[in-house]
A and B are shown apart, each in its own frame.
Chain A
């Protein structure tokens, strides 16, 4: 029921209370803060560092692959590069990216709360993350690790002579920051909603984070146990996975993917939440089929737990298991399809404005289509026998994890940038950066689908000469992608120090964070506790006169 008197509040005048940014200037006031917004900023800083490291590693990998023979690095170094790239990007960038930064910052404000349910645990989770991160840095300093991010034994537990145990412990420790964040979000969403904020009035960003928290809570302990047992086997020579000591190497893969498949949803679900917010704002529409989009997040989170065996079709696991995992994987694709169709339908009869966040969201739609649809290829039993462990898979998951998750992250960063910083970035370079990133991304990863189908296995340092053309395209794409990201980061960095002041609601968007909190918000988020009287995205039929800043 859209309310008869739908209006948009321009947001509070600048409050006389200090904003969260100016409420304390000492280092201590940051490092010991329990304000969810400051913790989000701490996370943002750390994640940006890890993202840069992971990105540099990617550039080195692609630089090496310009030619078929190894001419920049020896094979051991190359193997360390892709291993570290995977570990840094997955555990230290993709998994925490949106939840720990945007999620931390926005969840309490969006539901009308002063903070998360357990502010001190929130701070603890950042310290745990930093501890795990420091261990990862230590691994790099000590000479790296060469097992692949998948850490398959017996290679990892017995044969590799790099810093495997320390890497496993870094992943183990970092896992706890996920668990703490998931727990905090879950309780916050259950217990801290403002009066009138019923479940079906929640912004879809919240639903997406609720589903993500579920996966974080239920899945992460499993990966923790898995890498811990692997480390125990390595250090104390207890036979768990190593067959020469009576263990079972395939058991590790079951345990590993039981978490690591759902982990894909930890990376993508929050992104889907961001996209829902952005599309609603820049079409000025209620998301089409709100309830279906909300429930599809939960559907993905739950079914996502029973499809892990699709990573293991060729390991020799039971054929019946293969068949069940294949059909379940096709079923888990349905909720993603539902979301895509509903986002598209939302644009119908809206008022579409292509500001930077919307440009990113549109890129997301295109890339998520390709990433999601190529997943159907990998789910296919007969076909996957051929494309498994080739560049086809590499391309597929980069379309999902970079093309979708990273684009959503950038969409979100640009969308909420005025809220977080109180300033505005310049639109021209931001859009230009988005286009460069989009072109670079496709140039990097589209050729990899072809390479994969031709039979180029992943993690190959040397490759036959006839595959050089496609590899050069891919490497050139990676350099373009890197340049685009650098440009966007500089643009944002510049805006942080010198951007024009932003109003409380520069997009004239619906939502408590825009209508009830100033930019940047005060420490307690709101001057007076909000009361919610309408559905999410209750946009009026008329354009507000001040729709543009």
Chain B
């Protein structure tokens, strides 16, 4: 980050040059259009400037062919812009399989981050280079937005739900995390840094920060500590709905509808279990809203996601 006048942020993720190409394409097309119009305006204002002796004003009603041309041609060009942007966006919202799972909790005015291996950080995030990284984000209070300009990546951090985004860093270095959604007094100081490291350095960093539990291990402890296991047992007579293998499946609800058991659904079931009651069960589960922090809920969700259905034969 020198003091010279840059026109582009650093190019530090796989998205960066993609976004820049679209930007340049739009700049080029728009410059051609704008220049065309400006040149025409300037030319006409000089060529046809008012002159008391020249009175050759010619009324032209309009021209159908022209109207159609200058509606359809821009539309077609704009459709290429749309298509390219949508194509890139689809990649931005679909994290690749095997991405490392990090958790982000925003709160006035700091970022709390947790690694897949359990290490926690505040306003700093260490990640390995050339590795897809998936972030699951939520907020403890108001809406924030996790923005890393050098990665061309941004996602709102909304209380009461999970959002997700991903990136793959391509350049070793430290990059600013900014909160891009206005969130009160210190909005402009809700700043952090992503440190992109080589795999070897990252491993070294991780081992220097041991003592932490992985999110799902912490979740398992919470699951037992909060006595979830008294109702949710992997047994047919359990009082709670079976959690083994539930993640990613369609759950039938008491009102006859079904719902996809994704992260948001699990979160809602833990905090407000009565909002969506599973078919065949009574709404007896206590409301944990206010009892658990967002980080604890994230850990419980991470744990429930690890619970695999046992193969039928062995039972």
Contacts and interface: CB of A to CB of B under 8 A. Distances in A.
Interface of A: 2, 75-76, 79, 146, 148, 150, 152, 154-155, 158-160, 243-244, 246-250, 283-286, 288-292, 313-316, 319, 322-323, 326-327, 330-331, 333-334, 337-338, 340-342, 344-345, 347-354, 362, 365-366, 369-370, 373-374, 376-377, 379-386, 388-390, 450, 453-455, 457-466, 469-470, 539-543, 547
Contacts of A333: 74, 78
18 contacts: A243-B160, A284-B57, A286-B61, A314-B145, A316-B155, A316-B156, A316-B161, A322-B89, A333-B74, A333-B78, A334-B71, A370-B34, A383-B26, A383-B85, A388-B154, A454-B7, A457-B178, A470-B5
A366 B55 CA distance: 28
A366 B44 CA distance: 15
B163 A316 contact: yes
Interface in B5-51: 5-9, 15, 18-19, 22-23, 26, 30, 33-34, 37-38, 40-41, 44-45, 48-51
B100 interface: no
B187 A314 contact: no
B1 interface: yes
Interface of A is mostly: helix
A374 B27 CA distance: 9
B263 to A, nearest CB: 12
B26 A377 contact: yes
Q: Which of A331, A337, A365 has the most CB of B within 10 A?
A: A337
Contacts of B276: none
A455 to B, nearest CB: 3
A460 B187 contact: yes
Given A331-B75, A337-B71, A285 B141 contact: no
Interface string B178-194: 11111111111100000
Contacts of A353: 49-50
Interface in B140-174: 141-143, 145, 147, 149-150, 152-156, 158-161, 163
B44 A352 contact: yes
Interface stretch (B62-70, B232-240, B297-305): B62-70
B78 to A, nearest CB: 4
A366 B8 contact: no
B163 to A, nearest CB: 4
Given A79-B185, A349-B57, 12 more contacts: A249-B143, A314-B154, A340-B37, A344-B40, A351-B50, A352-B50, A366-B38, A380-B85, A385-B92, A450-B7, A461-B188, A470-B5
Interface residues on B, range: 35 or more
A75 B8 contact: no
Nearest to B164: A316
SS of B interface (majority): mixed
Given A2-B59, A155-B184, A376-B78, A338 B71 contact: yes
A319 B90 CA distance: 8
Contacts of A337: 70-71, 74
B48 A348 contact: yes
A148 B182 contact: yes
B81 to A, nearest CB: 6
A315 B156 contact: yes
A454 B178 contact: no
B67 A319 contact: no
Residue of A353, A376, A461 contacting most chain B CB atoms (<10 Å)? A376
B142 A459 contact: no
Nearest to A291: B62
Interface string B234-267: 0000000000000000000000000000000000
A383 B61 CA distance: 40
Contact of A541 (B8, B55, B66, B87): B55
B149 A454 contact: yes
A389 B188 CA distance: 13
B56 A541 contact: yes
Nearest to A328: B82
A362 B18 CA distance: 36
Contacts of B34: 369-370, 373
Contacts of B112: none
Contacts of B205: none
Contacts of A342: 62, 67
A377 B15 CA distance: 16
B269 to A, nearest CB: 14
B147 A457 contact: yes
Contact of B152 (A75, A347, A386, A464): A386
A373 B70 CA distance: 15
